[in-house]
Structure 1
Amino acid sequence: MNVTETLNEGLRRKLDVVIPATVLASRLDEKLDEVRGQVQLKGFRPGKVPTSHLKKVYGRSLMSEVLQDSINDTVSKTLEERSEKAAAQPEIDLSEDQAVINRVLDGETDLAFSVSYEVLPPVELMDFKSIKIEKPVVEVTDAQVDEEVEKFFKQNRGYEDKGDAGVVEDGDNVGLSFVGKIDGEPFDGGSAEHTHIVVGSGQFIPGFEEGLVGLKKGEEKTVEVTFPEDYQNAELAGKKAQFEVTILHVDGPKADVELNDEFAKTLGLEDLAALKKAIRDQIEAQNKSLSQQRVKRLVLDALDEGHKFDVPEKLVEAEFNAIWNRVKHEVEHHGKTFESEGTTEDKAREEYQKIAERRVRLGLVVAEIGNVNEITVSDEEHQQALIAEVRRFPGQEQEVYDFYRKNQQALAGLRAPIFENKVIDFIVELADVTDKTIARDELAKLVREGEDGFDIDNDHAH
């Protein structure tokens, strides 16, 4: 076997490889010996078919297997000998001349091909102790807890029918049907035959709940609202809509229920103090989650700033294409345009190209950190992630479980977020971290502003 390097520029490599016909012939003979005892040919006893006859019948098909196996083995061994790791599947370039191919298949000439690939770049890790992080800390006050407890009480104290004469007031649980229209035409998801809304809870579009106040059972009204600009359904965002509403029943809060120990006991808690503690714990858990998201973003920013190296073009191209396909889907199916988003297609491409490069670079850095420091995901952690994913789909648990068990790539994908978070935790332990007291609203805003696609939770570059 002869290997000649013809390109070595940056991360790109190209090799010309020649496998002698004698080597191929030897491997073909080994293949023929393997099948000799398996084939049954008329006129020959099992295992007694002459090699010449086997070659005449199966030679070409077996030689095709030999060629494929030889190419794969040669490329793998060559990279190992060169101490290189390909960033993506190497590209094999074989002759397209049928005459040449026939001569190789017939064992008359050597197999010549070229292999092109990009190598994974060496990653020199920064000193994590040099990273400075201000960890946001949100203090939970008694007033906040009392406010949330009061809100919880209003939502869970129970309701009773106010009768035909009862009018809708703030805090009432209203049963209603509605048909939503935009420019006179009903839209998907804008209708309901019988649903419930607690007036003042902010469950619905701003202005809708307020428009129900004063109505009675059986009354109809057209409520006009405008969907928020950041509404989750981009097709409806910013649009004016009319909802033709019919009140089915009006239930008011039970008057004989008070916020006290007895109310807490109906929830399975010991007393009102236990309810307040449960609410406080919930608020603290939510604040902790927001803080962790912010810290993770700060760590990723620091890693991006502390590691500058070229990344494989093929990996970036694949990442960019994945991002761009989602962008095109938004444009084509949700009525968006680049102009409506304050940009142009060229500028958007340039921005998403930078995002793709950052994602790939961070993926390689995180993978190297885990490798050097022996950070792994245990089978137990992986199983817990699968269970958590299954529980996200009540009523469909078995279907979701079966999907992951049959789809090994999806199952492996559950490891990535766990691995990345363990790497982040490892870095935080070494970094210079100081607490910074911050308001919850301000922290939530910082987290939202960081949701710009730069995170690597969905990337599996390792």
Structure 2
Amino acid sequence: MQVTETLNEGLKRAYSIVVPAAELDAKVNEKLVEAQPEIEMKGFRKGKVPMALLKKQYGPRVMGEAMQEAIDGAMAKHFEETGDRPAMQPEVKMTNENWKEGDDVAVDMSYEALPAIPDVDFSDIELEKLVVKADDSAIDEALASLAETAQNFKDRKKGTKAKDGDQVVMDFLGKVDGEAFDGGAAEDYPLVLGSNSFIPGFEEQLVGVKAEEVKDVVVSFPEDYQAEHLAGKEATFTCTIKAVKEPVAAEINDEMAKGFGAEDLAALKGQIGERLEAEYAGAARAVMKRGLLDALDKKVDFDLPPSLLDAEAGQIAHQLWHEENPEVEGHDHPEITPTEEHIALAGRRVRLGLLLAEIGQKAAVEVSDAEMTQAIMNQARQYPGQERQFFEFVQQNQQMQQQLRAPLFEDKVVDHIADQAKVSEKEVSKDDLQSAVEALEDE
């Protein structure tokens, strides 16, 4: 087998690979000899089919396998000997398209090699870690928000008209074409106006009703309504209003705390403080991570594979275009050309991505099965009722697994670097931390 270099320019590489016909024929014979004991053919006992007949019957198929294995083997040997790592899947093209049995196989292989990435001394990197304590005012603010979510309702003064956000207690009976239908009636039903829990247009018609009033609400079921016999049809609901109630925040006391699973109010405040400080720590980590990436970006420079750079710049430009044109949901739009700003951002991302991957590999950083399982479970919570299906989907989808593993790996590499850098803590206010986070989003 002959491998000849035809291009070595920057990170671009190209080679001509020739697999001699004799080598291919030997591989075919080897495969047929290996398979011969298990082959049965009419007129011959198992394992006794002559080699010439086997070659005639199975030779073409085995030849294809031998060609693929020979080329794959040549590529693997090349990368082992040169130490090159292709940035993307190498492009392989057979050059003697009129090949016939007995000819050598000629293949051109081209790729962009990943650059040599220099070692980095992390000890002189200086980072600032912001620290925020959960003070009483922040805890009280969170308590007030909880009290609103645990709101109760109290009767409004008799004769008061219902407003958006009020609770209307009522009996109702729905009819389509003058006939009542299953599921269209209820008694003492508490409906919060503006909750959008009923058919579109229903709740709006109850704004302004008073206790003891009877009102007909006329609505049309959506065309895609789950009950097919009602889909698209007009219905009249006769609603007898029994009470109109206004929302009132729950009283902040031990009783409310127990409703949130705490032993008493003091215990709930403690839980809120821990949750707030965990949120602050997460935000502070994001700020410190950006500082670390900025420091690495200034510290390290190397050539980038053009294919990776172009792909990343195109993705950035495409994503930003859709953010600026949210009304376009599909990809039926003009071609988007990356700007210099997109290309500069892509360069930073590709460089840092390659650097972190190299650092992680050298430090033997790994994402454990337990960490992956936790990440999948966290993601699955976004699909209530379909957690198991999502879990099974991820287990069968390598690309999805990689999407979940990549940020975990990156965060572990960041922690590895931060452990060796000079990190100083600075206690700041919640507002200062918020400003630092907003500054990240503006960049």
**CA distance in 1: counterparts of 2:360 and 2:426, whole angstroms:** 28
Partner residue, 1:261:
254
> One-letter code of the match for 2:83?
S
Residues 36 and 354 (structure 1), Cα distance of their counterparts in 2 relative to 1, 3 Å cut = same
1:293 aligns with 2:283: no
**CA distance in 1: counterparts of 2:251 and 2:430, whole angstroms:** 29
Structure 1 residue corresponding to 2:353, chosen from 352, 363, 368:
363
1:312 aligns with 2:342: no
Higher mean C-alpha deviation, range 292-301 or range 136-145:
136-145
> One-letter code of the match for 1:290?
A
Shift of 1:383: 1.9
Residues 269 and 71 (structure 1), Cα distance of their counterparts in 2 relative to 1, 3 Å cut = same
Shift of 1:345: 5.8
Partner residue, 2:267:
274
**1:94–1:112 CA contact under 8 A, matched in 2:** yes
Helix, strand or coil at the partner of 2:123: helix
Residues 269 and 95 (structure 1), Cα distance of their counterparts in 2 relative to 1, 3 Å cut = closer
Query: What is the count of residue pairs matched by the alignment?
Result: 378
Residues 96 and 23 (structure 1), Cα distance of their counterparts in 2 relative to 1, 3 Å cut = closer
**CA distance in 2: counterparts of 1:157 and 1:116, whole angstroms:** 66
**2:317–2:336 CA contact under 8 A, matched in 1:** no
Helix, strand or coil at the partner of 1:48: coil
Shift of 1:276: 2.0
CA deviations over 1:101-139 (Å, ceiling 9, x no partner): 12xxx12x3222221112221111322122122222234
Helix, strand or coil at the partner of 1:37: helix
1:128 aligns with 2:110: no
**CA distance in 1: counterparts of 2:36 and 2:106, whole angstroms:** 29
Structure 2 counterparts to residues 100-119 of structure 1, below 5 A: 101-102=99-100, 106-107=101-102, 109-119=103-113
Partner residue, 1:225:
none
Partner residue, 2:141:
147
**CA distance in 1: counterparts of 2:412 and 2:357, whole angstroms:** 11
Structure 2 counterparts to residues 18-167 of structure 1, below 5 A: 18-98=18-98, 101-102=99-100, 106-107=101-102, 109-162=103-156, 165-166=159-160
CA deviations over 1:240-259 (Å, ceiling 9, x no partner): xxxxxxxx98533459x643
**CA distance in 2: counterparts of 1:16 and 1:4, whole angstroms:** 5
> One-letter code of the match for 2:282?
S
Partner residue, 1:17:
17
Shift of 1:26: 0.6
**CA distance in 2: counterparts of 1:168 and 1:281, whole angstroms:** 40
**1:160–1:252 CA contact under 8 A, matched in 2:** yes
**1:132–1:432 CA contact under 8 A, matched in 2:** yes
Shift of 1:43: 3.0
Partner residue, 2:340:
350
> Percent identity at matched positions?
39
Structure 2 counterparts to residues 193-342 of structure 1, below 5 A: 216-217=208-209, 251-253=245-247, 258-327=251-320, 329-330=322-323, 334=327
CA deviations over 1:208-252 (Å, ceiling 9, x no partner): xxxx9xx74469xxxxxxxxxxxxxxxxxxxxxxxxxxxx98533
Partner residue, 2:387:
397
What TM-score results when the alignment is normalised by the length of structure 2?
Answer: 0.75
Shift of 1:10: 1.4
**CA distance in 2: counterparts of 1:38 and 1:318, whole angstroms:** 49
What TM-score results when the alignment is normalised by the length of structure 1?
Answer: 0.73
**2:255–2:264 CA contact under 8 A, matched in 1:** yes
Partner residue, 1:375:
365
> One-letter code of the match for 1:111?
V
**1:174–1:197 CA contact under 8 A, matched in 2:** no
**1:175–1:197 CA contact under 8 A, matched in 2:** no
Larger radius of gyration: 2
Residues 331 and 146 (structure 1), Cα distance of their counterparts in 2 relative to 1, 3 Å cut = closer
Residues 159 and 432 (structure 1), Cα distance of their counterparts in 2 relative to 1, 3 Å cut = same
**CA distance in 2: counterparts of 1:389 and 1:112, whole angstroms:** 48
**CA distance in 2: counterparts of 1:390 and 1:158, whole angstroms:** 32
Partner residue, 1:421:
411
Shift of 1:62: 1.7
Shift of 1:445: 3.9
**CA distance in 2: counterparts of 1:364 and 1:398, whole angstroms:** 34
**1:133–1:295 CA contact under 8 A, matched in 2:** yes
Helix, strand or coil at the partner of 1:122: coil
Residues 97 and 144 (structure 1), Cα distance of their counterparts in 2 relative to 1, 3 Å cut = closer
Helix, strand or coil at the partner of 2:88: coil
